[in-house]
Amino acid sequence: MIKIATLLGLAFLVNSPIYAADVLDEPIRPITIPDITDPQMVDLGHKLFHEMRLSLNGTISCASCHSLSTAGMDGLVESIGVNGQLGGINTPTVFNSRLNFRQMWDGRAFNLMEQVEKPILNPKEMGSNWAHILNFLQNDPPYLKLFSRTFSDGLTQNNVKKALVAFEETLLTPNSRFDRYLMGEADAITVDELMGYSLFKEYGCISCHQGMAVGGNLFQKLGLMKDYFSDRGNITTADLGRFNVTQKEKDRHVFKVPSLRNIELTAPYFHDGSINTLDSAVRVMMVYQLGIKPIETDIQLIVKFLRTLTGEYQGVPLNNE
C-alpha cells in the first residue's frame, strides 16, 4: 500500500556513506603539518623569537610571554611587559596560532604577518620601535650574515617579520590522542572521553569549537544567553572586544572563538583570564553561551574529552612542567 507509506511519511533516512576511510568524518579535523619550505628562515625566526634585545630595554622577548616549554603562553591573568607593565588581556598561546582565521582576541590582525609586530611595538609589551630593532640588527654581524644568507634583499623590516612568521607557522601540535582517534586509532581515547566528545556535540559546544583548531574560525559574542559582563562587573576596554576594532554596536563583547587545542595546559581561561580551572570554564560556557543548566557529571566528561586535545611539539607531548 503505497498510500499508507506516503501517508505516514515513512521516508527512511539513509545514512550517507563515508568516503575518506582513513579520517573520521567529524566536525573536528586532525592537525596536519605542511612541509617546511625554507628551514633557514625558520631558524632565523627561532633566534629572533627568543631575542630579548628586540625589546626597548632588552629584557623581554616573544618567548617571555609565549614560552614554548609552557604550552606557548605564560599562565598569568595578564602578561608582564617592559618595566613591569600589565598587558590588559590574557595572553593566548602561540601554538597553532597559524590555524586562526584572524589573530588576537578581537581579531584586529588579519594574519600572523600583521600580528607579529603588534606586541613588539606595543608600549605595554615589548615597547620597541623599528628604528631600534633595525639599528640593533644592523650592528650585529651574525644576524646580518643570517639575513643576507636567507633573503636576497638582506635585512629589512619586512624580512624580520617574515622570519618570525615562518617560525611561528611551524608551531603546530599534532598527534594528540583525539587526533589519533580521528585518524582511525579507535582505542586512542577512553569510553569516558568519547562520551565527553558526544556531549560536547550534543550540548552544541561544537557549533563554535570545530575545525582543525577546534575553534579559531569565527567570531562570537561572550554572554549570548546571559550577560557575562554585568555578572562579572568592572568592565575594561579589552572587554569591549571586536567593538574596539569596528566601532559597531553588534560587535560589542564579540571575540574570536579561541582554539581548544592543548586547552588543559593554557589556564587561566577567557580573554580576562578570570577562570582557573577547566571545569569552571565549561560551566561558565554552559550558562552564558548555551543557556542550559550545567550538569556536573556531564561537565566532568567534557573536561575528560578536552584533555585528549593536548598534542605534541617536535615529537614530545606538550606539558607545563
Specify whether the CB–CB gap between 71 and 49 falls below 8 A: no
Residue 6 or 135 with smaller CB distance to other proteins: 6
**What is the Cα–Cα distance from 86 to 112, expressed in whole angstroms?**
23
Shortest distance in whole angstroms from residue 254 CB to other proteins: 8
User: From CA 175, how far away is CA 155, in angstroms rounded?
Assistant: 36
Q: Which is nearer to other proteins, 219 or 229 (CB)?
A: 219
Stated as kind and residue range, the H or E segment containing 292 is none
Give min distance, CB of 255 to other proteins, in A: 11
Answer for the pair 93, 266: CB distance below 8 angstroms, yes or no: yes
Residue closer to other proteins (CB basis): 99 or 160: 99
Q: Which is nearer to other proteins, 67 or 289 (CB)?
A: 289
Query: What sign for the dihedral angle of Cα 314, 316, 320, 321?
Result: negative
What is the crossing angle of helices 130-138 and 141-150, to 10°? 100
Q: Which three cell numbers stand for residue 225?
A: 544567553
Q: Compute the least distance from the CB of residue 207 to other proteins, in Å.
A: 4
Q: How far is the CB of 223 from other proteins (least distance, A)?
A: 12
Using CA atoms, how far apart are residues 260 and 251, in angstroms rounded to an integer?
A: 22
Q: Which residue number, 87 or 174, has a Cβ lying nearer to other proteins?
A: 174
What single letter denotes the amino acid at residue 96?
Answer: N
Q: Enumerate the β-bridge partners of residue 277.
A: none
Binding site for other proteins (CB under 8 A): 1, 3-4, 6-9, 25-29, 100-101, 110-111, 202, 204, 207-208, 210-212, 216-221, 224-225, 250, 254, 290-293
**Least CB distance to other proteins at residue 225 (A):** 6
Contacts of 69 (CB under 8 A, 6+ apart): none
Query: Which residues are designated catalytic?
Result: 125
Say how far apart CA 196 and CA 300 lie, in whole Å.
8
